[in-house]
Structure 1
Amino acid sequence: MRVLYFAWLRERIGAGREEVETSAPTLAALVEELRARSEGHALAFDDLSAVRAAVDQEAAELDAPLRNAREVAFFPPVTGG
């Protein structure tokens, strides 16, 4: 599965994308797997209230299933002004 990181998540992890082999059933389970990958991953996912996600380019909550998902993206909430 392709995992994309945007903005400060990319900076903390040190990469904008990576290919991940996972059997995680949900987005939350994937986040737990990613947290264990490195100190940067753990830091990026430290405060999940500041992280949004999309599964195959559709907004998703942490309880979203990952059945056959090809891409997951993580990004901060968007603010406007």
Structure 2
Amino acid sequence: QGVDWRLGAWRGVAGPEGLPQEVVDKVVPLLEKIHASDEFRDFMNGRGFGMVFEGPEGYRQFMADSNEALGSVMTKLGLAK
């Protein structure tokens, strides 16, 4: 009985569809630098957050996979078709 599914909270940064590549090329390295900093890592770890930096394509795929998994669970529970 029940549904085999793992739920977690995740955070990320996203921009609007069609965001110019030149903006992406400026912002992504800054986010990587923040993610790699000891100050940010200590802040996040001190609050119990795990950290993974995926980059634009990895994050896009993560979101798609998460949505697919949630849709599957919703269907099994009779909350979606």
TM-score, with length taken from structure 2: 0.26
Structure showing the higher helix proportion among its residues:
2
**Greater C-alpha Rg:** 2
- The one of the two structures with greater contact order (alpha-carbon pairs below 8 A, sep at least 6) is 1
Instruction: Please identify which structure carries the higher strand content.
Output: 1
